Structure 1
Amino acid sequence: MRIVFLNSMERRLQERAGHADLAQVWIGEEGGVWRIGWDEEGAAGTKGQIWFEGESWSDMLSHYRYQLAVKLADGFRPVISGIFHEEEGHRGMWTQKLYCYSELNGSEEVYAELSAWRRQKAAAAGKAPYLIASNRLLRLISAFLPQTEEELTQLPGVGEVKAAEYGEEIVAITARIERNWQFPLDWVEQELDEEIFRSWMYKQKESRFKAEIERSSLRKQLLEAIREGQSLERIQDFTGLSRREAIEQLEQLEKEGYDTEALVERELTGLPQEEQTAIWNAYLELGDALLKPVLHKVYGADTMQPGSGELERRYEWLRLMRIRYRREARGTASAVGKPQSA
């Protein structure tokens, strides 16, 4: 096997001052097959692991990034720097430090109260809770306890509009709690241990890269199922997706340029042709960005109650037809841009 990359790592542990766990991470290639390996020498002896073995370069890189992030989050550091470094601007790094500090020092009691407030606001406005405030923003608020709207706007994710709409209610929750720090939050950088912050950053990368691997694996499963002529119900069985999630995955595959027409055609066999035509014409008239106006156009504004099986089924038809509609729209746009042959 040809080794194309190798770097040494070490982890210094406080409980064994003066000693370090040593490791090597390597990438090798043989006969078109890529391998990633991890060889570690610690107090328990030497052990080796194969992180990845396969022909795909992109899959190999995804596994390399994810597995290395796991080790870096666990305290290993490269002997040769630059192995896993992503530059961020000063502002971006400062924001990450605030996030890190808030996750390590936030008040769970205040976070729970803010979460309850968010649920009430979202229900009253008919919005998803994350549109009111993200979990990460609630963590920031629970940790730094702004006592005025001006302080609230110093937190990442709070602009003037959000402060004007929700600031008074948020401050009513946080201002009654005693704190022993002040805004601005320049002191956070001195309070936050650099090694703890670096491990936290790598933990964020670990989560992100793991999600990438899972998305890639799901994409391969779906494409293989389509090639084999599997039904949507069968896809649900082996992926664990709901019908809506499975159809949304088909929409994403179409956006990425994959052909899902065979599966869409099979799933639309139960939809009468006149209904397909009505949905198509509604998309032509109203566009394909929102499903609800198309639903009302085709089936009437006084359609079934939310949560009914028939309503969910109709939304499935709309999503499946939208896949077909968007594919033809892309084809038309491509044809318009083609030069005419002589």
Structure 2
Amino acid sequence: MEVVFLNRLSKQNEHGDESFAQVWIGEHEGIWSAGWSTHHGTDESTDDLWYEGSLWQELLHVYRHELALKMAEGYRPLIHGVFHEKERTAGRGQTLQKLYCYSDLFPRDDVYEQLTMWRRQKAVAERKAPYFIATNRLLRLISVFLPHTKEELLELPGMGQGKVSQYGKELLTITTQSDRTTPFPLDWVAEKLEEEAFLSWIYKQKENQYRQELDKFSLTKMILEGISDGLSLEHIGMKADLQRKEMIEAMEQLDRDGIDMEELIRRELADVSEEEQAAIWSAYEELGDTLLKPVMLQVYGEEKAAETGLDQVYERLRLVRIRYRHQEASDLQVG
């Protein structure tokens, strides 16, 4: 095997003792491999093979995810740039990251639970998705830093003037009920937060990001292999451990990413008449493709849809919508 990348890493424990490891990428006759070696002494090491296969992109996803896990544990590289990307943010970006980090490391779960209950009630009353009211991250910031005035609320990222005007009074009713031990403005956060704790938090965020990217890559690969093998949507879903609805959601995302799903759509709609498919297409042209219910009512009506089965009807609508949106995107590119 030819080693094409090698880096040494070290980690210190609470007693100041240092341990060492190596991360490596190699290639032999078109087969890529990546792994981790932990050194236990002068000549002893434990090897952990992370990946072995022919796909460089797959290797890269696995490598980044596994390495982020190690760096979240405290390992630091001898040579920086192990993710082949910009490692650190600076300026205001880093200041915001440190606020998020501090709120994760020093949570106030009691206040956070009160805020999530408030958000849930508000979402029901306003008929909005909860994240439109406030994201989990914003509620975590509010629960930890406990602003007592509208001006202090505005110091938190994601809390603009509109949200303060709309929800500020109710939020302050919750936060002012709790004693706080830290002041505003929040300049002190950057000084109080230990650098190693911040770095480990950063790499934990990377690990989450790379895990999602790896899961998406693996699912894409599985779907494309299933299409190539002539498998049905149900059989691909069984291999991926996903329900049919989740599989169609994955197909919609893949089509948005530019991967043609037509062959699988054609197989899944083989038992749906051309007239029915044309009626669905025409309804999209007339009503738009954002909402499915108006299309369902125009094509089927409530009674016929119920007889056919609502799940089956909506599945057909979504499959045809993937094809419709793909065609719309192609027409725009040609135009």
Q: Same fold (TM over 0.5)?
A: yes
Counterpart in 2 of 1:20? 18
Partner of 2:328: 329
Please state whether the residue corresponding to 1:3 is helix, strand or coil.
strand
Give the structure 2 partner of residue 73 of structure 1.
72
Aligned to 1:7: 7
Question: Where does residue 262 of structure 2 map in the other structure?
Answer: 261
- Report the equivalent of 1:30: 28
CA distance 1:91–1:291, change in 2 (3 Å) = farther
Alignment check: 8 A CA contact 2:283 2:299 kept: yes
Q: 2:61 matched to which residue of 1?
A: 62
Q: Which moved more, 1:243-252 or 1:200-209?
A: 243-252
Does the 8 Å CA contact 1:35/1:54 hold for their aligned counterparts?
yes
Aligned residue number for residue 192 of structure 1: 193
| Cα deviations by residue, 1:258-313 (Å, 9 ceiling, x for unpaired) | 232222123223434333222211211233233344334434589989xx993333
In 1, the alpha carbon distance for the partners of 2:164 and 2:243 equals 37
Give the unaligned 5+ runs of structure 2: none
In structure 1, what is the Cα distance between the partners aligned to 2:219 and 2:153?
A: 40
Cα deviation digits, residues 129-174 of structure 1 (max 9, x gap): 2221111111111100111222112111111112222211111111
Residue 119 and residue 61 in structure 1: after superposition, are their counterparts in 2 closer, same or farther (change >3 A)? same
Q: Residue 35 of structure 1 aligns to a residue in which SS?
A: strand
Distance 1:303 1:100 in 2: 53
Structure 2 Cα separation of the partners of residues 274 and 173 of structure 1: 58
- Aligned-partner SS, 1:9: strand
Q: Distance in 2 between matches of 1:156 and 1:299?
A: 47
Which position in structure 2 is the counterpart of 1:203? 204
Q: Determine the C-alpha separation between the residues in 2 that align with 1:114 and 1:272.
A: 51
Say whether residues 1:283 and 2:284 are aligned partners.
yes
TM-superposed CA distance for 1:126, in Å, is: 2.2
In 2, Cα distance between equivalents of 1:119 and 1:304: 32
Letter in 2 for 1:172: T
3-state DSSP of counterpart to 2:291: coil
Displacement after TM superposition at 1:14 (Å) = 1.6
- TM-score after normalising by structure 2: 0.91
Instruction: Establish whether residue 95 from structure 1 lines up as the match of residue 103 from structure 2.
Output: no
Q: TM-score, with normalisation over the residues of structure 1?
A: 0.90
Are the structure 2 counterparts of residues 162 and 298 from structure 1 closer, same or farther at C-alpha, using a change threshold of 3 Å?
Answer: farther
After superposition, give the CA deviation of every residue in 1:21-73 in whole Å (9 maximum; x if it has no partner).
Answer: 01111111111111112111137952111111111111111122111111111
Question: Quick one: distance in 1 between partners of 2:314 and 2:298?
Answer: 13
Paired-residue identity, %: 49
CA-to-aligned-CA distance 1:109-128 (integer Å, 9 cap, x gap): 11111111111111222222
Unpaired segments of 5 or more residues in structure 1? 338-342
> What RMSD in Å do the two structures reach over aligned CA positions?
2.3
Aligned residues: 332
The letter for the 1-side match of 2:114 is E
Alpha-carbon distance, 1:255 to partner: 2.1
DSSP 3-state at the match of 2:309: helix
| Residues 178-327 of structure 1 aligned to structure 2 (within 5 Å) | 178-299=179-300, 310-327=309-326
| Structure 1 residues 143-158: aligned runs within 5 Å | 143-158=144-159
